[in-house]
Structure 1
Amino acid sequence: MRAAVFTDYGEPLDVREVEDPEPEPDGAVVAVEACGVCRSDWHAWQGDWEWRGLDPVPGHILGHEPAGHVVAVGSEVDHVREGDHVAIPFSLGDGTCPLCRKGHANICENRQALGLQPSAPGAFAEQVPVPHADHNLVHLPDGVSSVDMAGLGCRFMTAFHGLAHRADAGAGDWLAVHGCGGVGLSAVHIGDALGLNVVGVDLDDEKLALAEDLGADETLNAAGVEDVPGAVQNLIGRGADVSMDALGIAETCQNAVNSLGPMGSHIQIGLTTSEEHGQIPLPTDEMVTSEVDFHGALGMPPADYDEIFRMVATGKLDPASVVSGTIGLEDVSETLDAMTDFETVGIPVVDSF
């Protein structure tokens, strides 16, 4: 099969023929029809996350937002069949650990990060192997396309999980999204669908215009703004009820937390770069005295995908609205390089392998 193979940090991926994967006894192989190119791929490509064990080696295949059809299943698989149309969550659980059994499979004690660590080859390829297929594969509704559902592997469902399950977000609350990349724009759209009032914050007018199209009530171009939290609060008329850092640098995380009002809830989705190395100072005294909550959000348990699908069926959610365009496997390196200077908009999706 053809795959875009990692060679070294920051170097172009090598599109070449590699061996077809074989399913493990409890696994499956999916023919990839679409795979989003995510900033998390960029982080791994840059070598940002070695302290988290997400350190690709030469020969590794990146890509963690796939959708496609099952082409092979292992002998121990019960509920997945060849031909099933599926999405694959990037946080792969085993389905048996205490966290999985309690419904928190996205943070499984034995989780593997699809495409982001050597033990879990990714989906910038014609086929991708999936362990624990009965647990991890998510059957897609009839009539949806793999391209439209590609973001469900990471950005769209992580934003949904953060807003619907992690934060105490209610209809009419004000949500401030800091960083309008793929996950931030997904959060804008989901927040609007959940009845929140949304402020989108970014440095790029094109991304802010798309945020408005996706339901943002207010937008703020933070370029040249000395007090971003104050500017957000001026737009709202008070502190935000919910904030989200959708990027993962110190500035956006701190701005997001500081834009909250008393009793506010912060959602951290963006993971840090080598500069922060996983550590960001926060206004802890203010968080204590204002009783601010801080929540992490990593993916979403596969069992909860039906919540998204029910909202898609009624037209309240449209994951395709965040997809900015399609590219070929040969274009992945150029797309990753463009992410260095935040030049991509929305979710670019590979659909030609």
Structure 2
Amino acid sequence: MRAAVIKEWGKPLSIEDVPKPEPGPGEVLVRIHASGVCHTDIHQWKGDWSSVKYIMEKHGVRILGHEGIGVVEEVGLGVSRLRKGDRVGVPWMNSWCGACESCLSGYPHWCPHAVNTSVHVNGTHAEYAIIHEKAAPKIPKEIGDVEAAPLMCAGVTAYGAIRKLVTEARIPPGKPIAIIGAAGGLGHYAVQIAKAFGYVVLGVDVGEDRVKFVEKIGADYAIDAKSAEKFAKEKFGGVYASVVFTPKIAGYELGLMMLRPLGALVSVGLPDVKEGVIPLYPLTVVGMGIRVFGSVVGVTHEFEELFNLVVAGKVKSHITMIADLSEINTIFKELEEGKIVGRAVLKI
């Protein structure tokens, strides 16, 4: 099969013919038709995260991508939920045990036995990929391959983060919240999802073009980062939550400054570890009652909830670049330089 392969960390990917994988027990082989490109791909490609790099090297993983859409071509022993010909997604969560405390509590995201696509097993920037049947969401016929691909990570990650405002932070609809990095691949979904949930959305990004894009996708207020804190404090006395999607510590600093007492900071974006830590002091936590939540990707039932919003026309994937697999290095370069607004998708 054809695949984009890491030959050396941070060097251009090589398009090669490699052996097609075979599904094991409970797994299916998916013929990939579209694969979204995520900023996480950049960090993995460069080897920015030492623990992830270590796992990839340990398992011999050299194919990135975790936003795949395709059709089941083969099924492994014991597969009962899926059958050949089903159209499914191949997201970041590739498998989990289903029996540990995290899984039984509804949080398989933190299962100690979880298998991640492009970390423990090769990813979707290839003609074929493997996934366990319980982790493969079925794609509604109303959603095309290219639009569905970014939902596998960016869409469901944004959905899970906004969902936490209701389920864990207990912030009722109608309250003002900030989306930091609102024009990005994840942020642009979060703006739409938060509006669908009924929040007053302050979409924050940098630069006139990105701010105009945030306004276009439906934010109640589209604001440049340099004036966001002042606006939030003067207009609302601060926001009830800041959901941070930008991979910059500066975005976290801004999110904290925009909060009102008892506000919630939801952490999604992953800055390079070289940027340091979030400047959250115990005095701030105690004095303002600040709450901090981490949010990561999604699992099968969250995909189904997100798909309902997409089919209803309340959430749309903004795809600004569609390219062939052979153009992946160009997309990586533009994504790394912050030139892609919305999402980029590879057709395979």
TM-score scaled to structure 2, two decimals?
A: 0.92
1:107/1:298 contact within 8 Å kept = no
Pairwise CA distance, 1:258: 1.7
Distance 2:254 2:130 in 1: 40
What code does the residue aligned with 1:125 have?
A: A
What code does the residue aligned with 1:159 have?
A: A
Where does residue 206 of structure 2 map in the other structure? Answer: 203
SS of 1:308's equivalent in the other structure is helix
Choose which of 287, 290, 307 in structure 2 pairs with 1:289: 287
Where does residue 125 of structure 1 map in the other structure? Answer: 126
In terms of mean alpha carbon deviation, does 297-306 or 20-29 score higher? 297-306
> Would you say how many aligned residue pairs link Structure 1 and Structure 2?
341
Change (3 A) 1:304 1:284: same
Q: What per-residue deviation string (whole Å, max 9, x for no partner) do you get for residues 132-171 of structure 1?
A: 32x1111112232121111121111111111113543422
SS of 1:139's equivalent in the other structure is coil
* Structure 2 residue 86 is matched with structure 1 residue 87: no
Where does residue 348 of structure 1 map in the other structure? Answer: 344
What code does the residue aligned with 2:342 have?
A: G
Where does residue 74 of structure 1 map in the other structure? Answer: 76
Pairwise CA distance, 1:107: 2.1
* Structure 2 residue 329 is matched with structure 1 residue 333: yes
Pairwise CA distance, 1:52: 4.6
C-alpha root-mean-square deviation of aligned residues, in Å?
Answer: 1.9
Distance 1:101 1:247 in 2: 31
Pairwise CA distance, 1:199: 1.4
2:142/2:311 contact within 8 Å kept = no
Change (3 A) 1:272 1:54: farther
1:87/1:152 contact within 8 Å kept = no
What code does the residue aligned with 1:347 have?
A: R
Pairwise CA distance, 1:345: 1.0
* Structure 2 residue 287 is matched with structure 1 residue 324: no
Distance 1:219 1:159 in 2: 18
Where does residue 7 of structure 1 map in the other structure? Answer: 7
Identity %: 29
In terms of mean alpha carbon deviation, does 328-337 or 202-211 score higher? 202-211
Change (3 A) 1:338 1:77: same
Distance 2:333 2:55 in 1: 18
Distance 2:228 2:314 in 1: 31
What code does the residue aligned with 1:237 have?
A: F
Q: What per-residue deviation string (whole Å, max 9, x for no partner) do you get for residues 305-342 of structure 1?
A: 22222223332223x2x222311101111111112221
Where does residue 139 of structure 1 map in the other structure? Answer: 138
What code does the residue aligned with 2:23 have?
A: P
Distance 1:264 1:17 in 2: 51
* Structure 2: gaps (5+ residues): none
Pairwise CA distance, 1:76: 1.5
1:44/1:55 contact within 8 Å kept = no
1:89/1:302 contact within 8 Å kept = no
Task: Give the alignment of 1:262-273 within 5 angstroms.
Answer: 262-273=261-272
Change (3 A) 1:59 1:111: closer
Distance 1:297 1:273 in 2: 17
Distance 2:207 2:9 in 1: 27
Change (3 A) 1:342 1:56: farther
Change (3 A) 1:102 1:59: closer
Pairwise CA distance, 1:253: 0.9
Pairwise CA distance, 1:205: 2.5
Pairwise CA distance, 1:5: 0.5
Pairwise CA distance, 1:54: 6.0
Pairwise CA distance, 1:77: 1.0
2:44/2:53 contact within 8 Å kept = no
Where does residue 249 of structure 1 map in the other structure? Answer: 248
